[in-house]
Amino acid sequence: MMATNSNVPAAEPGVFGPRRRGTTNGRAPRLVDAQELWDIDDVASYLGVTKQTIYSWRTSGYGPAGFRVGKHLRWRAATVINWTVRLEENQ
């Protein structure tokens, strides 16, 4: 039987988001808040596609639903992640 250390908090399940620009260690995933707003770079990074692909999907009605904040496109992290989960479930 394995001993546990009660002083160490248990790992909480989480959702990993895109790598942030400007970080020195781009390989480490980061936990995201579901209400966090992502820009097109974040969405493209998370999905592993180019920004142009995201723009093309938007004009054709495909992809996760985004919205405008002024002139800027934004996506809720939860929306993008749920969209990928639904894609996986439908296969």
Q: Dump pLDDT digits (tens) for 40-80.
A: 999 999 999 999 999 999 999 999 999 999 999 999 999 99
d(CA 15, CA 76): 13
C-alpha 50, offset from chain centre: 14
Q: Is the pLDDT of residue 3 over 90?
A: no
C-beta separation of 36 from 9 below 8 A? no
Q: Dump pLDDT digits (tens) for 18-38.
A: 655 555 555 566 787 878 999
C-beta separation of 78 from 34 below 8 A? yes
d(CA 26, CA 7): 29
